[in-house]
Structure 1
Amino acid sequence: MSIDTRQLGKVAVLMGGTSAERPISLMSGSGVLAALQSQGVDAHGFDPAERELVELKQQGFNRVFIALHGRHGEDGSVQGALELLGIPYTGSGVMASAIAMDKVMTKRLWLAEGLPTPRYVLLGADDQQRERVIQVPDQLGLPVFVKPPHEGSSIGVSKVEGYSQMQAAVALAARYDAEVLCEEFIDGEELTCPVIGEGASARALPVVRIKPPAAGYDYQNKYFTDEVKYLVPSGLPAVEEAEIQRLTLAAYRSLGCRGWGRADLMVRASDRKPFLLEMNTSPGMTGHSLVPMSARAAGISYEQLCVQLLATAALDAPPAAKA
């Protein structure tokens, strides 16, 4: 697909922001900005933590590449502001972004659609007393994952091996979120599968198989070490890879996503059944990120990927014609 970058206009790459994932967003945004500029795009960095979004309109930006992660960047809030400003942006719209950012709402929707996701218990802000917390392993078994439902990048996540660890894990997650999500542990392989496009034309990219070190696939190993091994091609049987891609597309479409996204999944070792963990609507674009890795396996360079995504920038509701 040949794209005339001169037709893309003046572009803002939103990066940084105010979420706990700010450092990763700055890394993603810097990579995207350099890639777009190398392809002749009139692209400029823009940090919403340091500038008012209304400046995008005042300074004549024609479209926005969202490289923000986490709250106020991936949760529909920035998307809503851009809708009001009438500036097309990359990635999913307001509703899909808001739902996907909330792991519990995502699970509820997937379960309603008959899509497999691990069992869970949600502990509300007033439901985190010791007596309640230590009951969770009785419901979900051990180990159990404890995480804030509105954060990404493994921030605030704990793998709990015993009852005595539950309270500390809940307290850690509660530092980032009033509610705490406790999720059944799926013993098996961790996979991720990116999607680009919208609706019937959306397509899944090659599956990436993740082989973490003994310490686990945590924040540090995700972004700042080379301890994690990524296999793409995944080495999975063709029929299994195809099923992961089918499931990912169904999950993406069920949430109403557009532009691009990335599903994280587990495949249970005992029966090879896949389970959806979450959908990322503004995936990482750092040197360790998985969407660029998968795209390369599909013959799409990092620079081509950035330009392709930018070309899909859109609004949920284009401005109505004036009467």
Structure 2
Amino acid sequence: MSQPTPTPIQALLICGGGGSEHDVSLRTADFIEEQLQNVSDIALTRVVMDASGRLSDRNGGVHYLSQQRQLVAEDGSTRDVHYVVPAIHGYPGETGDLQSQLELFGIPYFGCGPEASKLCFNKVTTKLWLTALGIDNTPYQFLFSNSEEEIAKATMALRQWGAVFVKASNQGSSVGCFRVTNEEQMAEALTQAFALSPYVLVEKSLKVRELEVAAYRYAGELVITPPGEVCAPEDTFYSYEEKYAEASRARTFVEAQGLSQAQLAWIHEASKRAFAGLQLKDLSRIDFFLTDDGNIYLNEVNTFPGMTPISMFPKMLAHAGHNFSEYLSSLIRQAIA
């Protein structure tokens, strides 16, 4: 007698979000969908979230996620949800809000938890935690209002450091990030940054090499890849457009060259310490700056890195000899075992 076919795992891919990184989230979802399309024991349903939190399928049908762990359509039909892939960059995916809802409903999901997501998405709290963990990061000031007193702090930092980056604290993918080299630029940069976030980071501008590692759980072990490198055009920084535009002039290298064993060891140890100390889960991309005089700073932790055709995380995972489809499908099976 033939054995009955096992019921496939019902996975829900949520993408979009309606925010500044909506389109990039859709491209990340394309990659994830492609990776899971031939996995026979996982049935994937894709929905797009808009700015109001409404979920729509490919045909425009509207759904909501219920506490009974089901995707409910307007006509009342339901589909079980065993696992969620929250492929949303920025709010509400990378900020921990969506993860909080999934935890409330008892649905396992791909990626970091609510607390780690929220900590790492806020550039100010990230730096405070990195300092507490003993991990060097770039010199900075943080501002809590666009008031005369706070503007004076930013101006003093500019005079001391010569050039700074003004960054909205609660944005990803270099959204709300402005390089300031004179006091005339400061007011406009702060106005734009505060329009996007209640807190603003003023960070020392350094001449650096930009290094990135992929950190992820594979077969139960934490993998820290050798650092890759991003080389932005000399006339700009690694902006949103340079990260994701088809015409990007940025060059990426899956493994950086010319680093000493001591530098590689420091980056590896700092990545491990950040992954453990910030209680990250499943994956992250951890970014570093290497200065001309050999100092290394941890720049930021991205709890749900981009997975577009030019994104570094999937390239570094593959370079480490791991298959993304096997990686994600094994995490899904483990989570619902």
CA deviation profile, 1:35-68 (whole Å, cap 9, x unmatched): 1113333111122323233385242110011211
CA distance in 2, matches of 1:232, 1:46: 31
- On the 8 A contact 1:15/1:47 being kept in 2, the answer is yes
CA deviation profile, 1:64-101 (whole Å, cap 9, x unmatched): 11211112111111111000111100111121111111
What is the identity, as a one-letter code, of the residue corresponding to 2:25?
S
Q: How many angstroms does 1:22 deviate by?
A: 0.9
Is 2:235 the counterpart of 1:222?
Answer: no
2:290 alignment partner, one of 259, 262, 267 = 267
* Structural mapping, 1:215-254, within 5 Å: 215-224=236-245, 225-235=247-257, 236-254=259-277
CA distance in 2, matches of 1:121, 1:130: 11
Query: How many residues end up aligned between the 2 structures?
Result: 307
- On the 8 A contact 1:69/1:282 being kept in 2, the answer is yes
Structure with greater contact order relative to length (CA < 8 Å, sep ≥ 6): 1
- On the 8 A contact 1:145/1:185 being kept in 2, the answer is yes
Q: How many angstroms does 1:310 deviate by?
A: 3.7
Q: What does residue 57 of structure 1 align with?
A: 70
CA deviation profile, 1:118-171 (whole Å, cap 9, x unmatched): 1211111253665454233135x1211111111111101011122221111112
What is the identity, as a one-letter code, of the residue corresponding to 2:129?
L
Q: How many angstroms does 1:277 deviate by?
A: 1.2
CA RMSD of aligned residues (A): 2.3
Give the gaps of 5 or more residues in structure 1.
1-5, 315-323
Once the two structures are overlaid, the 10-residue window that deviates more, 233-242 or 223-232, is 233-242
| SS of residue in 2 equivalent to 1:47 | strand
TM-score by length of 2: 0.84
- On the 8 A contact 1:70/1:151 being kept in 2, the answer is yes
- On the 8 A contact 2:146/2:191 being kept in 1, the answer is no
Give the gaps of 5 or more residues in structure 2.
1-5, 56-63, 72-78
Q: What does residue 192 of structure 1 align with?
A: 212
- On the 8 A contact 1:62/1:88 being kept in 2, the answer is yes
CA distance in 1, matches of 2:31, 2:193: 30
Q: How many angstroms does 1:312 deviate by?
A: 5.6
Q: What does residue 180 of structure 2 align with?
A: 160
- On the 8 A contact 1:133/1:167 being kept in 2, the answer is no
Higher strand share: 2
Q: What does residue 175 of structure 1 align with?
A: 195
CA distance in 2, matches of 1:77, 1:84: 11
Q: What does residue 114 of structure 1 align with?
A: 134
CA distance in 2, matches of 1:29, 1:192: 22
CA distance in 2, matches of 1:7, 1:89: 19
Q: How many angstroms does 1:241 deviate by?
A: 2.2
Q: How many angstroms does 1:260 deviate by?
A: 0.6
Q: What does residue 142 of structure 1 align with?
A: 162
Q: 1:283 to 1:170 in 2, by over 3 A?
A: same
Between the two proteins, what is the percent identity of the paired residues? 27
* Structural mapping, 1:262-301, within 5 Å: 262-270=285-293, 272-301=294-323
Q: 1:7 to 1:157 in 2, by over 3 A?
A: farther
What is the identity, as a one-letter code, of the residue corresponding to 1:280?
N
CA distance in 2, matches of 1:72, 1:120: 27
Greater Rg over alpha carbons, structure:
2
| SS of residue in 2 equivalent to 1:288 | coil
